[in-house]
């Protein structure tokens, strides 16, 4: 299934445009894919935030010492 396309105007930094154009792939498809990836990341982050809020409501706030420990382990 092909998504319906809508023409919009955006302004991009010149260095980004130069790098995208150098790839030889259509600019629109690259921008579309980048926006899709970023929106997916934002959706996942919102879900994670909601899950953490729900866990905190049931179990209380996280132990900051454990958060630091695991943050250090994950680098």
> pLDDT digit of tens for each residue in the chain (75 aa)?
678 999 999 999 999 999 999 999 999 999 999 999 999 999 999 999 999 999 999 999 999 999 999 999 998
Helix (H) or strand (E) holding 32: helix 27-59
Buried b (16+ CB within 10 A) or exposed e, 22-57: eeeeeeeeebeeeeeeeeeeeeeeeeeeeeeeeeee
Domain assignment of residue 44, yes or no:
yes
Domain assignment of residue 39, yes or no:
yes
Domain assignment of residue 8, yes or no:
no
Domain assignment of residue 53, yes or no:
yes
> How many distinct structural domains can be found in the chain?
1
End-to-end CA distance of the chain: 41
Q: Cα angle vertex 26, ends 20, 28, to 5°?
A: 85
Residue 1: predicted pLDDT = 66
Both tokens of 38, joined, read: 């970023």
Domain assignment of residue 2, yes or no:
no
Q: What global pTM score does this model have?
A: 0.75
Domain encompassing residue 54 = 14-74
């Amino acid at each position: 299934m092909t998504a319906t396309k809508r023409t919009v105007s955006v302004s991009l930094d010149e260095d980004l445009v130069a790098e995208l154009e150098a790839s030889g792939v259509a600019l629109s498809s690259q921008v579309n894919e980048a926006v899709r990836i970023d929106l997916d990341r934002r959706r996942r982050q919102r879900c994670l935030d909601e899950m953490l809020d729900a866990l905190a409501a049931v179990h209380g706030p996280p132990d900051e010492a454990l958060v630091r420990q695991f943050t250090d382990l994950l680098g």
